[in-house]
Amino acid sequence: MTETSNHSAPIFRTEDKAAPGRLIIVHGFLNTWSGELGLEDLASPQSALRWLREAGLWKGQRTLLQQDLEQLQNYREALRRFVIDPASGAADVDDFVKKLTFHMAVNEDGTTDLRSTNEGVAGVIGALMEIVFASQVNGTWQRFKCCELETCGWAFYDHTKNRSGRWCSMKTCGSRHKARAYLRRKAEKD
């Protein structure tokens, strides 16, 4: 797991190659927490508000309440479960989406966009879901993953040719996984 970013906003912790376009915002949002690194950018309403403003997800002078913070943290974990396993995580994300309102916008070039009409935390969740939807439509979502190492879960964008990436970093999590598997096999032999 690395903390470097090739995006202009230093708040987005991504691996060497970040998710393309606006998907980097979802990428950065999921990586606001790491148990392994002891990171929690959404630790308090103030720190969460600072992160959301820097990410361009929060506008205006509204404040963030403790219950809003808890909702954001819960949504982040629901979205992470959805990325890891869409079949089992869909219901959790759907619980958040049911409370939102969206509007379909038709563009001059004939394309359509889904736009959230929500404000506050619902607006943040709506904006993130807009990005997820657009990513699914344009085909980049299939490469967006979370690290399979159980202790990690770090979001990453799979740049491998055959979309076979399983770890956020082969240097750290991939090596740990292989070392643990080796030790497990060795213990079984003994």
Hey, which bits of 33-123 come out as E strands? 33-34, 39-40, 102-106, 112-116
- How far apart, in whole angstroms, are the C-alpha atoms of residue 172 and residue 153? 13
> pLDDT of 55-105, one tens digit each?
999 988 889 999 999 999 999 999 999 999 999 999 999 999 999 999 999
> pLDDT of 11-21, one tens digit each?
788 766 789 99
pLDDT at 174 over 60: no
Contacts 24+ apart (CB under 8 A), 6-11: 9/54, 9/55, 11/41, 11/51, 11/54, 11/55
What is the predicted pLDDT for the residue at 4?
38
Mean pLDDT computed over 3-26:
72
Band of the pLDDT at 122, cuts 50, 70, 90? very high
Closest listed residue to residue 154, CA positions, set 140, 139, 135, 173 = 173
pLDDT at 134 over 90: yes
Contact 144, 134 (CB under 8 A): no
Give percent above pLDDT 90 in the chain: 60
Phi, psi of 152 (to 5 degrees): -110, -85
Q: Where are the domains of the chain?
A: 23-189
- How far apart, in whole angstroms, are the C-alpha atoms of residue 121 and residue 136? 23
Q: Which residues pair with 144 in a beta bridge?
A: 157
Closest listed residue to residue 139, CA positions, set 13, 16, 20, 6 = 20
Angle between helices 66-84 and 45-54 (to 10 degrees): 60
What is the predicted pLDDT for the residue at 34?
86
Closest listed residue to residue 96, CA positions, set 124, 56, 58 = 124
User: pTM for the whole thing?
Assistant: 0.84
Mean pLDDT, the chain, integer: 86
Closest listed residue to residue 131, CA positions, set 113, 145, 119 = 113
Contact 129, 98 (CB under 8 A): no
- CATH architecture type of domain 23-189: Orthogonal Bundle (1.10)
Band of the pLDDT at 1, cuts 50, 70, 90? very low
